[in-house]
Structure 1
Amino acid sequence: MNQPPPDPRPHDWRLLSGALAVWLAALLGLLVHWSLAVVVGSLAALAGAAHTRCRGRRARDGPARLAAGVPLFVCGVLAVWPVAARIHEAAADPLRVEAARGAAARLQVEVVERPRPVRAAGFGGLPSGVHSVVVPAVALPSGARILILAPVDRWAALLPGQQAVAEGTLAPAEGGTLTVAVLRVRGSPASVGDAPAWQRAAHALRAGLRQASEVLDPESAGLLPALVVGDKDGMSTTVEDEFRVAGMSHLLAVSGANLAIVCVAVLYLLRLARIGPRGSAAGALCALVGYVLLAGPEPSVLRAGVMGAVGLLALALGRERSALPALGAAMIVLVVHDPAMAVAFGFVLSVLATGALVLLAPKWTRRLTRRGVPRIVAEALAVPAAAHLVTAPVVAGMSGQVSLVAVAANLAAAPVVAPATVLGVLAALVMPVLPWLAEWLARLAGPEVGWLVTVGRTAAGMPGAALDWPAGWWGGAALLLTAVAVAVAMRRRTARLVAGLGLTAVLLVVIPVRVIAPGWPPSGWAAVACDVGQGDAVALSTADPGRAVLVDTGPESAPTRECLNRLGVDRIPLVILSHLHADHVGGLSAVLSGHAVGAVAVGPGRAPEWAWRQVREEAADAGVPLVQLTAGQRMSWPGLAVEVLAPRTKEAEPAEADGTQINNRSVVLRATTRAGRLLLTGDIELAAQADLLTAGVDLSADVVKVPHHGSRYTAPEFLAAIGARVAMVSVGAGNRYGHPSPRTLGSLAQKGVLIVRTDTGGDCAVVEDGGKPAAMVRGEPRSPPGR
């Protein structure tokens, strides 16, 4: 069938120009000063009025021309009120003063978003031994917003719409938002009210989807709820990291794509029933509202819901070329409703992606079809390419990476997203009445979800899948300027020839070199044993660029600081000291002074007394909280989870404890990373190893940090119980203790374990390689004499 010719009429930019004025007013008002919102709004209103007055003087101008400046005038007025007024109200809220002085407070609050875990070592997380939760936008009777940090086990059950009394300590909120304060809470909520009936029903349906998904393998079971309703609580951190590198993270948040899938499915069924366009649009609108209620009133869901509702309204009114005005109307509604949307990365991504689908994708599709590409293939190529191109600068600024495989990965994933989403929604709806049918629907979605896992893993594992890029606003701006310069240059034939030769060189030279001899740190590193001489300092990476958990700090300041600098680590949510010997705590002061540290954690050991006093003083001088770890505690960050296995007693050793007793009280950790599980053993010796074996503790891990620098006091039975593929030995060259022991190295070699050592290889990194851990060394050992 012949395709109709493209519509020659230009796009209607009138409403979008007003939306950009509202957005700019809110953006400057939040990031700089509320008065700038008034200035921008006033200028937009004046420009709209002047345009209308000028056009009105021309007799030949019709009503459309006359009304061209009206949207800009109205949006200018909206920018002054209510947008600027809301920003000024938040800026002047008296809670800001109380938060600045750290006042205690007892507040009546209303939860407006589902509590979410904070995967960081923040206030209230470590002392209680559980994750923290966030109630992101909590409304006070005065209209102010606060952020509540509280123990997850006591607050996670709260639903949006519930009112409660929260008692804790106020702290300043992050700038550039409408949130006026942070409330740090240790206890449980009091005087908890009932949640609305529709919230309880939606919560039950989401829980039913998680239960139905349990018939799948663990990775697919965690991914299906994330794909359908944005519920990532049960999702594997490894899969989440792979999706991020592959440029597929947008599939894990409810967006316009989810709503489009649901609405298109409903429209198709209604058209089969011979329902007219307006009736079909009304039915799809009901489905849209129901899906928004199911997913929850999250910002991304509201953004997608408003944009979808405006688009369906335009469809019901018969406006065929209304995509751009619909985008403008959605932007206006969202920013006027919540000015904080203007500074949300998700809002920026939604607007840019939608604009690309409206402005770029159709043009690219027509160009490809004119060159003989089948239309369905042209659309499949143009849509992800356009969306990725315009959102790449924002994603780079957020993550510090540019995915080079995103277009191909999303193209491969696209065919299964819609059926998996529809099957997941149906499973959630039927679970309360027909659990067996819900489980079968989840099984039908299993192959599709499994394919998504495979695509994400394959794409993320390709050499050069992601290019490191400066993070922040400047990084995003730099990529935008680079893309514009390339686009302009590519208009010339000579530039295209040079670009082709450069791409060939990259394919033939650069990528093979990076694979054979990659730079340092290796891309996707999960853990690095720093070369600090005779001591320990292990960095565990998170999914956030520049952020890592540090276990021990080495004997001196300089080596640990240099290692962290090589890794590009500037934020450390948690420093864990396995025990208080000098070769594990000596570099603490440099870490605290040169990095943003969230907390310092220690085990129950308090000997030697001088070291304990030094640690307390250094933490106090840096203003960093000091917390205690006990067996059974679990902590998590994006891409990293840490569990405390030992010591299994809370009693401190005697003040006159000898070195062996102190070693045996080392904190033993098991970290789950993108490269598998790591067992960090401190300096435990035979007695502590035997206690763990006798207690039946699960010690299995893919990588082990060999106890006590590879000393001879390591039982072969202990190493056998771990079953590691890779063993890291943190040890100084020429140390006087004879570490590492040939007997210990021999036990590992007999089991076929790959051994890497800091005294011979320098910094030792663990990376993921085809789903298995692999080790790399920097090849430049510092090799100082050991203590």
Structure 2
Amino acid sequence: MTQQTEVDPGRRPAHDLRMAVVVTVGWLGGIAAYGVGAWSVWLPVALVVVAVVLARQGRARGSRLLVGCAVVGTGVVASALLRSEAVAHGVLRAVAEERAVAELRGTVVSDPLVVDGQWGQQVVVRVRVCEVTARGTRYRLGGVVLALGDPGWSRVALGSEVRWVGRLAPADDADLAALVVGSRPPVRIRGPDVWWRGAAAVRSSIRDSVDGRPAAQRELVPALVVGDDVGLPDEVERDFRTTGLTHLTAVSGTNLTLVVGFLLLLARSVGVRGRWLTLVGLLGIVGFVLLARTEPSVVRAAAMGTVGLFALGTDGRRRGLRALGVAVTALLLVSPALAVSAGFALSVLATGGIVLLGPRVQAALGQWLPMPMAGAIAVPFAAQLACTPVIAALSGEVSLVAVLANLLVAPLVGPATVLGLAGGLAGLVWDPLGRVVGTGAALCVGWIVLVARWGADLPVPSVGWGSGVLAIAALVALCLGVALAAPALLRRRRLGVVVVVASLVVVLGVPGRIASVPGGWLRGWPPRGWVLAACDVGQGDALAVSVAPHQAIVVDAGPDPDLVDRCLDRLDVTQVPLVVLTHFHADHITGLPGVLDGRTVGVVEASPMLDPAAGVEEVTRTAAEAGVVVTRASYGRTLRYGDVTLQVLWPDLPAPVRGPGDGSAANDASVVLLIESRGIRMLLTGDIEPPGQQRLAAVLPDLDIDVLKIPHHGSTHQDTDWLRSLDAEIAVVSVGEDNDYGHPDPWLLDALVYGGAEIARTDQDGDVAVVAGEGGPTVVTSD
């Protein structure tokens, strides 16, 4: 007689984690393929060997799981290797290596992006090339290139087929076959298809519906609805990063759910049911992809949304982890480059956190809170906790206010998204109606902007955290501990209230100077033996030269005091015996308050070129308020701090002078320092221009160094021959991501690479440290 086992109907079945194991192996296979190349094939081979051993021992279940892992791992590895080989050995890459001029034909696959460069406006756009003519030979092929051209490119719509002439150059991005620089506008062969024209009309109508609103609201509505964040003000982006709200401006599964959910609600209201409802959902997903463009994040959201639709009616909520696993596996097989995408990792982790931890936290809070409120707290908490280690690895910080900020904005994200889309659609029919609906969306996002601004202005919106292996491992362990303990802690009302109140006290009341995790060994930063660090402070310079534990010389401090302060915190710098300001431009001086905040500072030395006057006045006032003396850097002077020697090589001005105020004189009078520490010779150049560079070359023809700080953020205005003659092993460029000046110049970087230099850049690598070792200097980056 078979014994029946009663099942508690109120108890949810445990999540099947086998799919998570399979996905993890596939993901690791993709990372290995892009990291070690062909060696990654040994991962699935090893799994098959282990599976055979387990099968021979009678462990069939474990064997089957490993075989599944091996199949998925093999698929992802093979897909990644094939794509990499196709790009690396394709015709486009070969032509790019020769830097040849070619005629290309292809289809525009991204919206043109206009940037203000140093020499005027430039347009950046991606094109899928189908034909290229170079060296008198015509090739038919496939590959995506990044085209850089004049403003004429801005009139080319996504989906158009174009022909143009440009010079090819190698691309750093593994997914790009080449860069193509062309001064002439392209010739349009064929316009975009009707669906692209329709999507463009809706996107334009969404913007028109909020035209006339304040800038933050006007730009946030299209960013929220379709991820169009090109015009988002810098201060809003900074506030969103600090408060953990950046996911709102990136297309995600949430955007898709809101938009498709709105369409399904409309369809239900007119009587659509069954398979027809599923068809409406699928059409909604296709329409959403067209609106938001076929970027990786959009494809990711569409895939997960499709899986969710097919899960409807088949106990999909209990199979959320399996549905997520299917979506992730499919995406990795189709686009293995996602395995090394931070955005993809954040999306998957957030969804996984909501599926695994969200219901448990909601059930715990539901013991003493209304269930809707419990859910509103549980979802952002679970998503943020799951993403925290990756965010810390990328930014070096852990947000304390993210959960609270997401909780406060959650009630208005849905209405803002739906009203924004509805305003765009209504505007196509009647413009005044679209503006009325769009005003509702703008008011909703106005609250979101206020919350972000409030959170960013708190004493401690985030704490510094390193991105080294030890630091991230410690954070992962901490997050796992919180995930395991949270349901039990929050289940009891009194204990839950104590936890919530204590968290609010930490966020709202902790003094700003302790906003950094103590112990460099935990944070993994700074690296042991560092001699020079270039801080990631955006479009500006801020460098630190290590003198002793907790002591450093700071060379330049711009442009953001908070970013400079946080960088020095991460370096454990509490004493600054010397600050050198190479010249008085804002991107080198306005972060000086961040150096002075809470640190012992000896003296500030600055360029003898007193230009611009506003910069001189700002430095003088800031230093005086902190009780620090400002002196002038003297040509030829040598200073010694411990084992660090500094020599002022430039400018050769005998006394302070006032410049003409055109900016160029101030740049060319930048203080140039030759610094030697632990056998490493470093040249810090400020923004010195070609005339000054040529004078230095004439005075010091045999100057030989190990590390070069590239002048003027890597601008095109350089004496490249002199820079190459320095024979630097490492060249560091301090530059802001997506800056308006076109810095750094790719041709300059290529010239230095050809001369044997390793390039490190703060816009891509985060904080950059030069470490002294037995074999010479090496680069360690925080990203």
Return the TM-score normalized by structure 1. Answer: 0.63
User: For 2:507 and 2:314, how far apart are their aligned partners in 1?
Assistant: 51
Pair 335,534 (structure 1): closer, same or farther in 2 beyond 3 Å: closer
SS at match of 2:29: helix
Any conservation in 1 of the 2:102–2:167 contact (CA below 8 Å)?
Answer: yes
Deviation per residue, 1:446-498 (Å, 9 max, x gap): 221110110110011111112233357776555334544777899999xx999
Residue 399 (structure 1) aligned to one of 395, 401, 410? 395
Structure 1 position 432 matched with structure 2 position 390: no
Pair 5,153 (structure 1): closer, same or farther in 2 beyond 3 Å: farther
User: For 2:403 and 2:147, how far apart are their aligned partners in 1?
Assistant: 38
Shift of 1:74: 4.2
User: For 1:344 and 1:268, how far apart are their aligned partners in 2?
Assistant: 34
Larger deviation: 251-260 or 426-435? 426-435
Aligned length: 591
Structure 1 position 130 matched with structure 2 position 133: no
2:251 is aligned to: 254
Residue 22 (structure 1) aligned to one of 1, 26, 38? 26
2:407 is aligned to: 411
Pair 271,582 (structure 1): closer, same or farther in 2 beyond 3 Å: closer
Pair 18,52 (structure 1): closer, same or farther in 2 beyond 3 Å: farther
Shift of 1:352: 0.4
Pair 169,588 (structure 1): closer, same or farther in 2 beyond 3 Å: farther
Deviation per residue, 1:692-725 (Å, 9 max, x gap): xxxxxxxxxxxxxxxxxxxxxxxxxxxxxxxxxx
User: For 1:202 and 1:537, how far apart are their aligned partners in 2?
Assistant: 44
Residue 86 (structure 1) aligned to one of 80, 83, 89? 83
1:511 counterpart letter in structure 2: P
Any conservation in 2 of the 1:22–1:332 contact (CA below 8 Å)?
Answer: yes
2:664 is aligned to: 579
Pair 54,440 (structure 1): closer, same or farther in 2 beyond 3 Å: farther
User: For 2:423 and 2:501, how far apart are their aligned partners in 1?
Assistant: 51
Pair 243,165 (structure 1): closer, same or farther in 2 beyond 3 Å: same
SS at match of 2:428: coil
1:441 is aligned to: 437
User: For 2:670 and 2:211, how far apart are their aligned partners in 1?
Assistant: 44
Structure 1 position 304 matched with structure 2 position 301: yes
Any conservation in 2 of the 1:11–1:324 contact (CA below 8 Å)?
Answer: yes
1:161 is aligned to: 159
Please show how residues 506-585 of structure 1 align to structure 2 within 5 Å.
511=511, 522-523=561-562, 532=580, 536-539=584-587, 578-580=663-665, 584-585=669-670
Please show how residues 624-635 of structure 1 align to structure 2 within 5 Å.
624-627=714-717
SS at match of 1:268: helix
Pair 271,200 (structure 1): closer, same or farther in 2 beyond 3 Å: closer
Pair 17,435 (structure 1): closer, same or farther in 2 beyond 3 Å: same
Pair 490,454 (structure 1): closer, same or farther in 2 beyond 3 Å: closer
SS at match of 1:223: helix
2:384 is aligned to: 388
Any conservation in 1 of the 2:164–2:187 contact (CA below 8 Å)?
Answer: yes
Shift of 1:246: 1.0
1:426 counterpart letter in structure 2: A
Root mean square deviation of aligned Cα = 5.1
Please show how residues 639-718 of structure 1 align to structure 2 within 5 Å.
none
SS at match of 1:254: coil
Deviation per residue, 1:112-143 (Å, 9 max, x gap): 33334568xxxxx323x125524287677876
User: For 1:226 and 1:188, how far apart are their aligned partners in 2?
Assistant: 28
Shift of 1:329: 1.3
Deviation per residue, 1:187-228 (Å, 9 max, x gap): 323454322221122112111211221132222111111111
Pair 91,539 (structure 1): closer, same or farther in 2 beyond 3 Å: same
Shift of 1:316: 5.2
2:42 counterpart letter in structure 1: V
Structure 1 position 346 matched with structure 2 position 339: no
Pair 524,448 (structure 1): closer, same or farther in 2 beyond 3 Å: farther
Any conservation in 2 of the 1:253–1:300 contact (CA below 8 Å)?
Answer: yes
Deviation per residue, 1:746-767 (Å, 9 max, x gap): xxxxxxxxxxxxxxxxxxxxxx
Deviation per residue, 1:475-526 (Å, 9 max, x gap): 6555334544777899999xx99999998996899516669xxx99842569
Deviation per residue, 1:663-687 (Å, 9 max, x gap): xxxxxxxxxxxxxxxxxxxxxxxxx
Shift of 1:430: 2.3
Pair 190,364 (structure 1): closer, same or farther in 2 beyond 3 Å: same
1:377 is aligned to: 373
SS at match of 1:431: helix
SS at match of 2:110: coil
Residue 280 (structure 1) aligned to one of 254, 277, 284? 277
Structure 1 position 421 matched with structure 2 position 417: yes
Please show how residues 72-221 of structure 1 align to structure 2 within 5 Å.
72=69, 74-79=71-76, 81-116=78-113, 125-127=117-119, 129-135=120-126, 145-151=143-149, 153-174=151-172, 177-221=174-218
1:126 counterpart letter in structure 2: Q
Pair 84,206 (structure 1): closer, same or farther in 2 beyond 3 Å: same
Pair 609,383 (structure 1): closer, same or farther in 2 beyond 3 Å: closer
Any conservation in 2 of the 1:240–1:249 contact (CA below 8 Å)?
Answer: yes
Pair 410,594 (structure 1): closer, same or farther in 2 beyond 3 Å: farther
Structure 1 position 456 matched with structure 2 position 447: no
User: For 1:204 and 1:446, how far apart are their aligned partners in 2?
Assistant: 20
Pair 47,423 (structure 1): closer, same or farther in 2 beyond 3 Å: farther
Shift of 1:580: 2.5
Pair 500,308 (structure 1): closer, same or farther in 2 beyond 3 Å: closer
Any conservation in 1 of the 2:115–2:121 contact (CA below 8 Å)?
Answer: no
User: For 2:352 and 2:312, how far apart are their aligned partners in 1?
Assistant: 18
Deviation per residue, 1:535-554 (Å, 9 max, x gap): 525326999xx9xxx99999
User: For 1:638 and 1:559, how far apart are their aligned partners in 2?
Assistant: 35
Return the TM-score normalized by structure 2. Answer: 0.64
Shift of 1:400: 2.8
2:538 is aligned to: none
User: For 2:472 and 2:381, how far apart are their aligned partners in 1?
Assistant: 18
Structure 1 position 243 matched with structure 2 position 235: no
User: For 2:237 and 2:327, how far apart are their aligned partners in 1?
Assistant: 30
Shift of 1:442: 0.7
Any conservation in 1 of the 2:100–2:167 contact (CA below 8 Å)?
Answer: yes
Deviation per residue, 1:619-642 (Å, 9 max, x gap): 9996955349xxxxxxx9669768
Any conservation in 1 of the 2:220–2:232 contact (CA below 8 Å)?
Answer: yes
1:135 counterpart letter in structure 2: R
Pair 239,613 (structure 1): closer, same or farther in 2 beyond 3 Å: farther
Pair 109,172 (structure 1): closer, same or farther in 2 beyond 3 Å: same
User: For 1:533 and 1:320, how far apart are their aligned partners in 2?
Assistant: 59
Pair 74,204 (structure 1): closer, same or farther in 2 beyond 3 Å: same
